[in-house]
Amino acid sequence: MELSDPKIIRSKLMDYLARREHSEFELKSKLGRKVSSIKELERQIENLKKMD
């Protein structure tokens, strides 16, 4: 399943983070093969970092 919707990518990131702390590298590794756009994944990670 390839993820392309930014809202779904963000939701998946939040799911991973809810379970335990993940490094940015781990998040990119786990979701990188599931998303259609690495740039969108990176954008969503940056958005989450700004919320911290």
State the helix-helix crossing angle for 24-32 and 6-19, rounded to 10 degrees.
130
- The structural domain count of the chain equals 1
Single pTM value for the model: 0.72
2 phi/psi in degrees, rounded to 5:
-105, 130
Is residue 44 one of the residues assigned to a domain?
yes
Is residue 1 one of the residues assigned to a domain?
no
- Residue 8 pLDDT grade (very low, low, confident, very high; cuts 50, 70, 90): very high
- Residue 2 pLDDT grade (very low, low, confident, very high; cuts 50, 70, 90): confident
Q: What is the pLDDT of residue 52?
A: 67
Region 12-36: mean pLDDT is 92
Enclosing domain of residue 10: 6-51
Cα distances from 23 to residues 1, 5, 13, in angstroms, run: 23, 22, 11
pLDDT digits (tens, 9 = 90+) for 25-48: 999 999 999 999 999 999 999 999
In the chain, how long is the greatest CA-to-CA distance? 29
